[in-house]
Amino acid sequence: MVFSSLMFMFCFLPAVILLYFAVPDKLKNTVLFICSLIFYAWGEPVYVVLMLFSTVVDYTHGRLVDKYKRSGQDKKARRALASSVIINLALLCFFKYADFAVGTVNSIFGTSIAALDLPLPIGISFYTFQTMSYTIDVYRGQAKVQNNIISFGAYVSLFPQLIAGPIVRYQTVAEALNRRKTTADKFSDGVMRFVVGLGKKVLIANNIGLIWDSVSALDFSTLTVLEAWLGIIAFTFQLYFDFSGYSDMAIGLGKIFGFDFPENFDHPYMSRSVTEFWRRWHISLGMWFREYLYIPLGGNRCSKAKWLRNIAIVWLLTGLWHGAGWNFVAWGAYFSVLLIIEKLFLLKRLEKLPSAVRRGYTFLLVVFSWVMFSIDKMPDILKFFGAMFGVGRCGFANTDGIYMLLTNVVLLAVAVLGSTELPLKLSKEIKGKLSERPVVLETVKTLFIALVMLLSVAYLVDSSFNPFLYFRF
């Protein structure tokens, strides 16, 4: 089942906040755990059992790893760690990749094995990586074992970032799970961050996504160059504002409840290389693969051949993490090739070019990647690339494409400017000018929050379905 409308969050959230601050500190994790399970069960009433199973498995294995490490039984500790990783990966592979494997076998060997047609549990890729990181960090001695299963369950199921991240390593929130405090300033900052994220999702991502919806519904072999480029650029900004908007909402809600979640985006479309782009986009996923796969494989502290192998493995698995389809395999392979080329020789040459050229180079390559990311059938991907480069007889533009451009030019301009550092610089400038007039500053902030919230709610009331794009991962 696909997760329900954002309107549920507005009905659910105020009650959770009121209950959370009404109970004593010792019950706050219990409130978060129970409310998070209710939140998840609203969209996945059956698979909440799967989340509880993962919670119990990793809680138990964490205790076992700690017990064996403290008693010097490292071999048993490794076995407990391996058991945890195998169970987690088995669940992820079964629910996410079983039908992909069946379809691949059928196409290669001409068999007719029936697909399982299992619905993908929401957020399984995110919370599986989180729970695995806990057991691994306990084994490494980078995190203390959590002896309270309710507190651990609150970490696993924490609803602000449960569905689409950021991926929060246990060591990041370990201290806050046991002891945290929400100040008035932190609460205010959290509300502001949440509303900014909501505005990104509802006012920008949803609206610019309508362009992509229109283009992707057409026969790709009939697209003009203008329609193809408009469509994929719209998707480029839809994905950014949708996903970064969710991350902002999660980080904001985390602050409200006393947590400090890691940043997940840092203006990635301002990057001057593909290497830099992946330091700025989905930062928590990149850090996870670096810490738990790339470095254990040897990273770059090995022979050049093994180093290149490590990059290829990480990026093929990164592609598969995003989805069970050959388009995601191609997407991961695409980035592995680009990153290898940059690291071998291109980065040094790029540094000699003007920043505008480097940013244009990076943005163009990223746009190409989103074609593979957004379209699931390889023949359609090739058709779309063909349309982008004028292969065929459809020409550069038609009246539909021109009308689409003219009616959305303001929205596109807002998306472009909003993806740069300009809004952040403007915000800092306003705060600087009003720093000596705190009443005026707070009034401006309140009016901004109220306006964005009002516009967002008005949009949501008029719209019945608003899933985040990363819910499917």
One-letter amino acid at 339 equals L
Helices (H), 110-183: 124-140, 149-157, 170-178
Rounded Cα–Cα distance for residues 214 and 227 (Å) = 10
Query: DSSP states of 7-69 as a string?
Result: HHHHHHHHHHHHHHHHS-GGGHHHHHHHHHHHHHHHH-TTTHHHHHHHHHHHHHHHHHHHHHH
Separate counts of helices (H) and strands (E) for the chain: 21, 0
Decide: 16 and 35 in contact? Cβ < 8 Å.
yes
Q: What is the DSSP letter of 352?
A: T
Per-residue burial over 270-285, b if 16 or more Cβ lie within 10 Å, else e, is: bbbbbbbbbebbbbbb
Decide: 36 and 159 in contact? Cβ < 8 Å.
yes
Residue 193 buriedness (CB in 10 A; 0-12 / 13-18 / 19+):
buried
Q: What is the DSSP letter of 205?
A: I
Per-residue burial over 298-326, b if 16 or more Cβ lie within 10 Å, else e, is: eeeeeeeeebbebbbbbbbebbbbbbbbb
Which of 54, 52, 76, 51 has its CA nearest to residue 64?
Answer: 76
Rounded Cα–Cα distance for residues 381 and 7 (Å) = 34
322 carries an active-site annotation = yes
Q: Which H or E run contains 195?
A: helix 184-199
Q: Which residue has the tokens 């301002």?
A: 270
Angle between helices 7-22 and 28-43 (to 10 degrees): 160
How many CB atoms sit inside 10 A of residue 36's CB? 22
Rounded Cα–Cα distance for residues 199 and 135 (Å) = 36
One-letter amino acid at 183 equals T
Peptide bond between residue 262 and the one before it cis (omega within 30 degrees of 0) = no
Q: Which H or E run contains 208?
A: helix 206-216
Which is the catalytic residue, given 61, 267, 282, 322? 322
Which are the catalytic amino acids? 322
